[in-house]
Amino acid sequence: MQLVGDDLSKVNHAILDRMDSRAPLIPQLAGHIIASGGKRLRPMLTLACSRLCGYVGERQIGLAAAVEFIHTASLLHDDVVDESDLRRGDATANVLWGNQPSVLVGDFLFSRAFQIMVADGSLEVLRVLANASAVIAEGEVMQLETMNNVEIPEEKYLEVISAKTAALFAAACRIGAVIAGRGYVEEDALESFGRNLGIAFQLIDDTLDYSAQQATFGKTVGDDFREGKVTLPVLLAFRRGDDEARAFWRRCIGDGKQNDGDLDRAITYLHQHDALHDSIERARHYGAMARDGLGIFPDGEAKRALTDVVDFCIERAY
Amino acid sequence: MQLVGDDLSKVNHAILDRMDSRAPLIPQLAGHIIASGGKRLRPMLTLACSRLCGYVGERQIGLAAAVEFIHTASLLHDDVVDESDLRRGDATANVLWGNQPSVLVGDFLFSRAFQIMVADGSLEVLRVLANASAVIAEGEVMQLETMNNVEIPEEKYLEVISAKTAALFAAACRIGAVIAGRGYVEEDALESFGRNLGIAFQLIDDTLDYSAQQATFGKTVGDDFREGKVTLPVLLAFRRGDDEARAFWRRCIGDGKQNDGDLDRAITYLHQHDALHDSIERARHYGAMARDGLGIFPDGEAKRALTDVVDFCIERAY
């Protein structure tokens, strides 16, 4: 945050500026979700990675805003798809304005992101973010296809989160190297850093859904459980459980039949089988890969900041 | 159709090829809507306009597919937003698969359209279609904002349909000139042609919703009425009606309170006040502007084909 603070306030400015429209509902609704206190993690990655690559200029500002627009568009569509009521403790846009504008404002922000990239003028940046956008949508569809299926292999779950979450982290990082003109080795290294960071981030997110500390993030414990989302903690508890536990997971997640007390019972099973602990261990593994991805870059402020991001993403589980 | 028949089958090939994904639901759902017999009007415009500009090459194929993907993505999202059950006589994707995949597959097709444009490599084409996409979303949001309001001025209605429908027609035509490298005069002329054609097309579409011939298009008469959509026929009938008629429109469209027999009564009012007839007259006006937009191009097969498209769009009202 310290490293990129000035740039980040310019990004916030660009975001406000570019979400304007002659349709007043667009800035209203987009402003609600953008202002509702996201961490701006993805745009920060673009800022810090361009710094790490020695880039001097202003192109990182607009592109970081474009990354945040793509992220915001996918949050808006996610909340419609998941029928979520709360995001970071605030009522979601779909609750306040209905599904219809949430879908359409998402489309607008997504298009606007591409307008910003076109204005930037790099076909390579456009390629990276168009690919990421397609992969994100594929990941979301794959998540729907595996919804309620507690028997998928861990690899399938990793494929889903690599696509729906980590692809944008990877792209946000890669474009930092692209605008610095550093060539494929650095681009690939930052993409790898971002992808592994994104996987670690999502794994921690999935454990937070079942742990009390999470309340501090303004989310409700058990959202994923109620929605029947198959996440790594559930996959581990299912595999490690006895017949009774498996029947429980099949009923609650597979068939979506939940009673009072089921969330508590789920959390008990998760602890019994170290499913939360070991999900965090898995996250540590990807965090370590992310850190090593930075190995080819010289030590310094920017590299330390990016390493801190890895630590932050994992430590928030404690 | 004759002029661009060969190209169009290549476009259909490209469409099938590029909607493939490792998430099997994507080609299933996308295939349903793409195969369900759209007219391929927008991609045909790209093909015919590139021909009109003397373009020789294959770039029009991919870009026409990209245009159709953007159109399909917006149809998928529209059907979710409008809660439609039928499209061209077939059950909509949201009915067959639910809203969730319809939103996500729309996002995928939209991203894929940008991937195709990036592969084509023209920043100018990207600019034109990114702008059009943002304007389409704005138009859809403006339509939501004016929903149920029978007292909006005709200009506001025109602004909505210029954005939600005509912007993509305009862009589809313009990129035909862009790839031919014909410069801004020709680009602007084709954009103007496309925009006016698109407005005429939507005006006719809006009258078809209230006329029996429409059954031949596989749509249900009265969809717009039931959804409380404010279209030009309604605006004219409201303005030209007496107090009783206005109260009727306010109740049915404004408050969405409809009873058996209301659709018949609406159609009676529309005929009484020549609202359908005069909406078609308005469409003729935009059709004439579209035809004149082609004035700077030499006569020939391509120009005749594009003029035929204008005639077709208007004649289908009879």
pLDDT tens readout for residues A91-134: 777 777 888 889 999 999 999 999 999 999 999 999 999 999 99
Tell me the C-alpha distance between B153 and B236, whole Å: 10
Q: How many domains does chain A have?
A: 1
pLDDT at residue B214, rounded to an integer: 46
- Domain containing A77: what range? 5-315
Tell me the C-alpha distance between A35 and A62, whole Å: 18
Mean per-residue pLDDT over chain A, rounded: 92
Using an 8 Å Cβ cutoff, are B241 and B151 in contact? Answer: no
In the predicted model, residues of chain B with pLDDT beneath 70 are: 37, 86-89, 212-219, 318
Q: Which residues pair with A91 in a beta bridge?
A: A86
Tell me the C-alpha distance between B195 and B164, whole Å: 11
Tell me the shortest Cα–Cα distance from B109 to chain A, in angstroms: 8
Tell me the C-alpha distance between B103 and A96, whole Å: 19
Tell me the C-alpha distance between B113 and B69, whole Å: 6
Find the length of chain B.
318
Using an 8 Å Cβ cutoff, are A241 and A273 in contact? Answer: yes
Tell me the shortest Cα–Cα distance from A173 to chain B, in angstroms: 19
pLDDT at residue A214, rounded to an integer: 46
Tell me the C-alpha distance between B140 and B165, whole Å: 9
pLDDT band at A222 (very low <50, low <70, confident <90, very high): confident
The residue with greater pLDDT, A287 or A224, is: A287
Tokens 């009727």 locate to: B248
Measured over the CA atoms of residue A247, residue A252, residue A258 and residue A263, the dihedral's sign is positive
The CATH number given to whatever domain includes residue B79 is 1.10.600.10
pTM of the model: 0.93
Tokens 């996610």 locate to: A78
Query: Which of these, B260, B23, B121, lies nearest to A160 by C-alpha position?
Result: B23
pLDDT at residue A219, rounded to an integer: 59
Q: Which residues of A touch B125 (CB under 8 A)?
A: none
Chain A residues with CB within 8 Å of chain B CB: 21-26, 73-74, 77, 80-81, 99-101, 103-105, 107-108, 110-112, 114-115, 117-118, 121, 123, 126-127, 130-131, 133-134, 136-138, 140-142, 144-145
Using an 8 Å Cβ cutoff, are A19 and A109 in contact? Answer: yes
Q: Which residues of A touch B118 (CB under 8 A)?
A: 123, 126-127, 130
pLDDT at residue B92, rounded to an integer: 76
Asked if the Cβ–Cβ distance from A23 to B101 is below 8 Å, we say: no
Chain B residues with CB within 8 Å of chain A CB: 21-26, 73-74, 77, 80-81, 99-101, 103-108, 110-112, 114-115, 117-118, 121, 123, 126-127, 130-131, 133-134, 136-138, 140-142, 144-145
Using an 8 Å Cβ cutoff, are A143 and A96 in contact? Answer: no
- State which residue of chain B sits closest to A119, comparing Cα positions: B127
Q: Which residues pair with B90 in a beta bridge?
A: B87
**Distance between the two ends of chain A, CA-based, in angstroms?**
21
Using an 8 Å Cβ cutoff, are B193 and B230 in contact? Answer: no
The C-alpha R_g of chain A, in whole angstroms, comes to 20
- Residue-wise pLDDT for A223-280, tens only, equals 889 888 999 999 999 999 999 999 999 999 999 999 999 999 999 999 999 999 999 9
Three-class secondary structure of residue A166 per DSSP: helix
**Distance between the two ends of chain B, CA-based, in angstroms?**
21
